[in-house]
Amino acid sequence: MALMITDECINCDVCEPECPNDAISMGPEIYVIDPKKCTECVGHFDEPQCIQVCPVECIPRDPEHLETPDGLMAKYHALQAAKGA
């Protein structure tokens, strides 16, 4: 499943550059994660990098975007193909 950023976000700017899929961007008030691009770092890392660097632990899994590990890997491959990688 994709991740999400809660309103506990302090806009510290550390998560955005860590995302290998460019899924994190600044929203109207806090950072947001695009569920179409979030693979929880599957295909890139063993753990989601944004969660690793977040100082306030405001990045849980998004219950509205449930995905299996195989689904996340398929999304990773589709994103890589779209990049031409």
Domains detected in the chain? 16-83 (3.30.70.20)
Rounded to 5 degrees, φ, ψ at 24 are -105, 130
Burial class (CB in 10 A: 0-12, 13-18, 19+), 20: middle
CA dist 43 and 26 (Å) reads: 24
Bridge partner residues of 24 (DSSP): 33
CA dist 34 and 3 (Å) reads: 9
What pTM was computed for the model?
A: 0.92
pLDDT tens by residue, 10-65:
999 999 999 999 999 999 999 999 999 999 999 999 999 999 999 999 999 999 99
